[in-house]
Structure 1
Amino acid sequence: MELIVVTPPDYFEGEAALINRFFEEGLHLLHIRKPVDDPEKFRKLMQGIAEQHYPRIAIHQHHEFAEEFSLKRLHFTEQQRKARAAGDFAGLTADGFHLSSSVHDPHTIQELTEFDYVFFGPVFNSISKKGYESALGDEFTLAPHVLKVFAIGGVRANRLAQLKQMNFDGAAVLGSLWHQTVSPLTELKNIMKAINKIQ
C-alpha cells in the first residue's frame, strides 16, 4: 500500500522545512493543494523545498509554475478534468507529465486512461471537511482496476488494513496528519509504520 500526503489548504510558517523532513523520512509522494490563488506564496513555498524532492511533488493549482520548478506531476479536480478536452491530457502525457485526478464515482475510474492514478472518496467521513461524509458502506470493495486508486477522506493509521481489504492501492492523507494533537511529522511516522505492517 502506497501513501500520499496532501498539504493543508493554507500556507503556514515552516511548511517548506516540514515538507523536506517528510521526504527525508521516506515519503514517496506529496500533493501541494493550495486553493487560494496566491502565486507568490506558492513560489516561496517551492523555493523552500529542496530541489531533489521536486520529482515527488504533484501540484493541484498553479500549473503554470511546472516549468519554472521542473515539476512533472499535475493533479486535476473532477471539475477541472470534465471541463477540459481529453486531447489536452494526451498532450500533457506526451510532454512527460504524470497526471492524477479526483473521482467520486468508482464507475468512471476505468475511463481515465491518460491518468496515472486517482483519488477516490470520501471513503470515510472527512476529518478536515466537516459534514463531508462517506456514502460507502463497511462492505464496500473497489472493483478490479488497472489505474491506481488512492482512498481519501477520513484516512487514519488504524484504517489502512481495512483500505487494503477494500482493494485500494494506497491512501491519501490530509486531515489525519494536520488535525491531530501530535505533530504532523510524528503522525506521518505512525502512518508509515502502519503501512509497513500490512505490506
Structure 2
Amino acid sequence: MELIVVTPPDYFEGEAALINQFFAEGLRLLHIRKTADDPAQFRLLMKDIDPEYHPLISIHQHHELAEEFDIARLHFKEQRRRELSSADIEHLLDAGFYLSTSVHELSVITELSSFGYVFYGPVFDSISKPGYHAVQGDGFVLPRMPAKVFAIGGVEAKKLGQLKKMKFDGAAVLGSFWHHEISPLAALKELLSKIEEHHNEPANEE
C-alpha cells in the first residue's frame, strides 16, 4: 500500500521546511493543493522545497509552472478533467507528464486508463469536510481497475488495514493528517510504520 500526503488548503509559515522533513522521513509522494490562485505564493513554496524532492510532488494548480520546477506530475480535479479533450491528454502524456485525477463514481475509473492513479472517496466520513459522508459501506471491496486507486476521506493510520482489505492501492491523507492531536511529522511516521506493518503481513487467502 502506498501513501500520499495532500497539503492543507492554505499556505502556512514553515510549510516548505516541514515538507522537506516529510521526504527525508521517507514520504514518496506529496500533492500540493491550495485554495488560493496565487502563483507568487506557489513559487515561494517551491523555491524553499529541496529541488531533489520536486519529482516527488504533484500539483493541483499552476500547471503552467510545472516545467519551471521540474515537476512532472499533474493532478486534475473532477471538473477540470471533464474539460480536457482526448487531444489535451495526449499532448500532456507526450510531453512526459504523469497524470492523476479525482473521482466520486467507480464507473468513471474504467474510462481513465490515461491516468496513472485516481483519488476515490470519501471512503470514510471526511474529517476536514463535516457532512461529507462515505460513499461506500464498510464491506466494500474495490473491483479491478485500469488505474491505481487511492482512498481519500477520513483516512487514518488505524484504518489502513481496512483499506488493504478493501483492495485499495494506497491512501491519500488530508484532514485526519493535519488536524491530528500529534504533529504532522509524528503522524507521518505513524502512517509509514503502519503501512510497513501491513506490507509485511501475509496475504489473506481468498
Structure 1 match to 2:195: 195
Instruction: Measure, in 1, the Cα distance between the counterparts of 2:129 and 2:137.
Output: 19
Structure 2 match to 1:155: 155
Structure 1 match to 2:51: 51
> Is the contact made by 2:121 and 2:135 (CA closer than 8 Å) also made in structure 1?
no
Structure 1 match to 2:202: none
SS at match of 2:110: helix
SS at match of 1:140: coil
Instruction: Measure, in 1, the Cα distance between the counterparts of 2:197 and 2:70.
Output: 34
Structure 1 unmatched runs, 5+:
none
Instruction: Measure, in 2, the Cα distance between the counterparts of 1:164 and 1:135.
Output: 17
**Number of residues paired by the alignment?**
199
Structure 2 match to 1:25: 25
> Is the contact made by 2:112 and 2:146 (CA closer than 8 Å) also made in structure 1?
no
Instruction: Measure, in 2, the Cα distance between the counterparts of 1:197 and 1:183.
Output: 21
Structure 1 match to 2:9: 9
Q: CA deviation at 1:146?
A: 2.9
Instruction: Measure, in 2, the Cα distance between the counterparts of 1:116 and 1:189.
Output: 26
Q: CA deviation at 1:135?
A: 2.5
Q: Which deviations, in whole Å up to 9, do the C-alpha atoms of 1:51-77 show, x marking residues without a partner?
A: 000000000001111011111000000
**Matched residue type, 1:79:** Q
Instruction: Measure, in 2, the Cα distance between the counterparts of 1:144 and 1:111.
Output: 13
Structure 1 match to 2:203: none
Instruction: Measure, in 2, the Cα distance between the counterparts of 1:86 and 1:118.
Output: 17
Question: 126-135 or 148-157, which moves further after superposition?
Answer: 126-135
Instruction: Measure, in 2, the Cα distance between the counterparts of 1:124 and 1:53.
Output: 30
Q: CA RMSD in A?
A: 0.7
Instruction: Measure, in 1, the Cα distance between the counterparts of 2:198 and 2:146.
Output: 21
> Is the contact made by 2:113 and 2:146 (CA closer than 8 Å) also made in structure 1?
no
Q: CA deviation at 1:35?
A: 2.1
Instruction: Measure, in 1, the Cα distance between the counterparts of 2:54 and 2:7.
Output: 15
Q: Which deviations, in whole Å up to 9, do the C-alpha atoms of 1:149-168 show, x marking residues without a partner?
A: 00000000000010011010
Structure 1 match to 2:87: 87
Q: What TM-score do the two structures reach when normalised by structure 1?
A: 0.98
Structure 2 unmatched runs, 5+:
200-206
Q: How does 1:1-199 map to 2 (within 5 A)?
A: 1-199=1-199
Q: Which deviations, in whole Å up to 9, do the C-alpha atoms of 1:94-140 show, x marking residues without a partner?
A: 11000000000011111101110000000000011111111311111
**Matched residue type, 1:138:** D
Q: What TM-score do the two structures reach when normalised by structure 2?
A: 0.95
SS at match of 1:99: strand
Instruction: Measure, in 1, the Cα distance between the counterparts of 2:130 and 2:34.
Output: 18
Runs of 4+ in 1 over 3 A off after TM superposition: none
Question: 133-142 or 91-100, which moves further after superposition?
Answer: 133-142
Q: CA deviation at 1:84?
A: 1.4
**Matched residue type, 1:169:** D
**Matched residue type, 1:4:** I
Instruction: Measure, in 2, the Cα distance between the counterparts of 1:25 and 1:43.
Output: 24
